[in-house]
Structure 1
């Protein structure tokens, strides 16, 4: 489980990106890079980090399922992800 502070910080970052998305798009279209620099740093979408929805883990993230590899394996073994079965031959 990731630190709660890291998960909360990432949520705040997502809110900032959503808040400033239209403004950033307008400024980029105008080419006004001085005004872009005055916006908060965390309002840039490239500063976002994908995190697991269950555990908050930043590494081993599977974007199709929005969970980490560890949580994915647990859910798959429990049969909670439709269409996923453990392979055996």
Structure 2
């Protein structure tokens, strides 16, 4: 089980990312446009840099739905590898076959 403080920190980052998503997207769009002058691009870059760091989507990290483990997550299930394996062995996932090695 991951520390609860780390899980809460990740949830806070998700909220910040949703809050500033439209502002970040519009400012990036204006920076990339070829029509806008350099002074406007510079202002948009300053606006983009003034946003909180934790609102950037690259700071988000997927976590296991049950344990909060940050590594070895399957996108389809939202679970980490060892939890997924335990669920398959307990026959909780229909259609999944067990492997032994």
TM over 0.5: yes
Q: Deviation of residue 22 (structure 1)?
A: 0.8
| Aligned-residue CA RMSD (Å) | 1.1
User: Relative contact order (alpha carbons < 8 A, sep ≥ 6): 1 or 2 greater?
Assistant: 2
Shift of 1:17: 0.7
* Count of aligned positions: 88
Question: What is the TM-score normalised by the length of structure 2?
Answer: 0.81
Query: Would you identify which runs of 4 or more consecutive aligned residues in structure 1 move more than 6 Å?
Result: none
> Which ranges in structure 1 are unaligned for 5 or more consecutive residues?
none
Superposition deviation, residue 60 in structure 1: 1.1
The whole-number CA distance in structure 2 between the counterparts of 1:73 and 1:55 is 14
1:5 aligns with 5
Alignment of structure 1 residues 1-89 onto 2, 5 Å: 1-31=1-31, 32-87=44-99
Structure 2: gaps of 5 or more residues: 32-43
TM-score w.r.t. the length of structure 1 is: 0.92
Looking at structure 1, the residues matched to 59 and 45 of structure 2 have their Cα atoms a distance apart, in angstroms, of 18
Which structure would you say has the larger Rg?
Answer: 2
